[in-house]
Structure 1
Amino acid sequence: MTIELRHFRCFLAIAEERNLTRAAASLHLTQPAVSRTLRQLEQQLGVRLVDRSTHHLTLTAQGETFRERAATVVAAADAALDPASLTRPPLRLGHAWSALGAATATLLRRWEREQPGTPLELLRVDDRTAGLLSGRVDAALLRGPVAGEGIVTHFLGTEPRVAAVPTGSALAARMSLTLADLAGEPIAVNSVSGVTSLELWPRQIRPARAVTVANTDDWLAAVAAGRAVGVTSAATAGVHSYPGVAFVPVTDAVPIPLVLAWRRGDAHPATPALARLAREIVRDSGSA
């Protein structure tokens, strides 16, 4: 005789109810059917699982041990047959302002093609870790130094810096700029999620004034209005075209590191695949 899942379910009902009649009622079976199923199980195992020598049904020592195993079998079967378990939860990927730059669409298209069972949700969150520390996302594309206890980072590459200047200005007409060329201007600084501060400039040419904003949209608006100029990653130019703003390469500013980050011990199962794909795309795009 082959032991089937119904045998495990029947025994668990008996162990729970400690009464064959009540176990039968909970399973919508007759009491003789429950007794027969229990007898088949004991014959197959070659041990007694239930002690019927008293007025109250009790489990033998072997029955108590088998109860734990039966519960494991039934739980595994229920999980395997749950339709929701056949689809992985989405991988929520945070970014503060530019995701993977011009390669963002490539990342999304390739992920959908190569990982069809796991949706990739791209979320913009305006904070330094793009929602990672707050738990709003599973992983995040971050730029610049990343601080935070329990954060793991996977280096993807570096991005050159560009200046954001008002169109029509003398700076916008230049093919390239240096930090010294920008030193006499007010500098737009995104204090929440940006990677450029006045400390980027050497002390002897450090700009005198910063215009502080809280997000990329306000940063671009400040530049377009002529209130300030800014320095950012080249990825910003690839994603954020903005009326009144021109982007010009800055030749002497240190590149910006780009990493994929996630929380240690709490990684989505598909995070390693995302890290490999993002690194490959960044490499193929020419970033170092």
Structure 2
Amino acid sequence: MDLDLSCVESFVVLAYERHFGRAAACLNLSSSALSKRLARLERQVGVRLIDRDPGGYVELTPAGDRFISHARELLRHAREARRHALQGEGSPIVHLGIPGSPSDHIPVPTWKTMVTAIAQTLPTCRLQACSVPYGRVEESVLTGRVDVLLSTGEFDHSGLSTTVLMRVGRVLLVPVHHELAGERRIRAMDMADLPLIREPTATTRWMKPWLLGDLRDPADTPTVDVSARTLADVQKAVLDGRAATVASATLVPMVRPGLTALPLRDVPSIPLFAVRRRHDERDEVLTVIEALRVLTAAFVTTHSQEVPDGSQAVAAPANS
């Protein structure tokens, strides 16, 4: 029996989320519909792929572990096949993935500048921004859902290639009435007991910079789980007093009223990456990454006065 690609994609999402409810939400399905898709796939493959406990938590079976890498490749090849079929029907599209929402990270004028610059450099290419759930950043690239991912965090998958666009400082977002809001110098030790937001669907590795995991044992950081699809959801949780959050200094111009961004003085900067599939060396993909490098440097120059002193973003050298 042929494999249903919608069932394969559902399995890949479920393998990342490790929870039926969260995976169903990502796929805009009900849990029962997701269960039916999985059952159909297991019939098609001929073996059980997951074990599920009463709480909805998922563990891959040994067969599921063996199948997952092939499933990702299958989805990637399917998207590549469609892309090649459409090549003669118009300009190729490069899908740029951004965790949360594109408008959270790229101001509209900057986005227009980016699209224009890429159009001038590679007139046969079109750029399309895509929202990527926080829990599916690596998977979005590996399966071909996006061609280039713009993200901080840590990536060590052998199938991915990362280009450092620039290094960015980190700030602490708190409500303007918070007890720390009047401080001019915030050190990591000053916020040792401060609960920080943790997105439960994101991997521990990707969340590491936002929980200061590069400075201390994550077990020493109190966290509050906040399910967030966009930066706006994160900021609302901070404004509501649920917890504080560490954020990139580049987001300071987009901080909503009622919040303040405090520079973290003894916290090292982190890289902002352009991530692609390691063997994807299409001209349009490489051109988009180079344009991102140039434009992020321009963004730093334009907004340098808006970023708190001590946490400014720094453009990376061209050969990073």
- One fold, TM greater than 0.5? yes
Match of 1:155? 164
Please state whether the residue corresponding to 2:236 is helix, strand or coil: helix
Structure 2 residue identity aligned to 1:87: G
Match of 2:242? 227
**For 1:1-288, what aligned pairs fall within 5 Å after superposition?**
85=88, 87-97=90-100, 101=106, 103-126=110-133, 127-129=136-138, 131-191=140-200, 192=202, 194=207, 195-197=209-211, 199-202=213-216, 206-207=220-221, 209-215=222-228, 216-238=231-253, 240-284=254-298, 285=300, 287-288=314-315
Structure 1 residues 140, 84: CA separation in 2 closer, same or farther (over 3 Å shift)?
A: closer
Residue by residue, what CA displacement relative to the aligned partner does 1:53-89 show, whole Å, maximum 9, x if unpaired?
xxxxxxxxxxxxxxxxxxxxxxxxxxxxx99627332
Q: Is the 8 A contact 1:87 1:118 kept in 2?
A: no
RMSD: 2.9
- Structure with greater Cα Rg: 1
**Superposition TM-score, scaled by structure 1 size:** 0.62
Please state whether the residue corresponding to 1:270 is helix, strand or coil: helix
Please state whether the residue corresponding to 1:106 is helix, strand or coil: helix
Structure 2 residue identity aligned to 1:223: V
Q: What is the CA distance between 1:138 and its match in structure 2? A: 1.0
User: What percentage of aligned pairs have identical amino acids?
Assistant: 25
Structure 1 residue identity aligned to 2:173: A
Aligned equivalents of 1:162, 1:105: Cα separation in 2: 26
Q: Is the 8 A contact 2:197 2:245 kept in 1?
A: yes
Aligned equivalents of 1:204, 1:122: Cα separation in 2: 32
Q: Is the 8 A contact 2:211 2:218 kept in 1?
A: no
Q: How many aligned residue pairs are there?
A: 205
Q: What is the CA distance between 1:251 and its match in structure 2? A: 1.2
Match of 1:14? none
For structure 1, the 5+ residue unaligned runs are: 1-81
Please state whether the residue corresponding to 1:196 is helix, strand or coil: helix
Q: Is the 8 A contact 2:118 2:287 kept in 1?
A: no
Q: What is the CA distance between 1:148 and its match in structure 2? A: 1.9
Q: Is the 8 A contact 1:199 1:206 kept in 2?
A: no
Structure 1 residues 277, 204: CA separation in 2 closer, same or farther (over 3 Å shift)?
A: closer
Q: What is the CA distance between 1:94 and its match in structure 2? A: 0.4
Please state whether the residue corresponding to 2:283 is helix, strand or coil: coil
Structure 2 residue identity aligned to 1:237: V
Q: Is the 8 A contact 1:98 1:235 kept in 2?
A: no
Q: What is the CA distance between 1:201 and its match in structure 2? A: 4.2
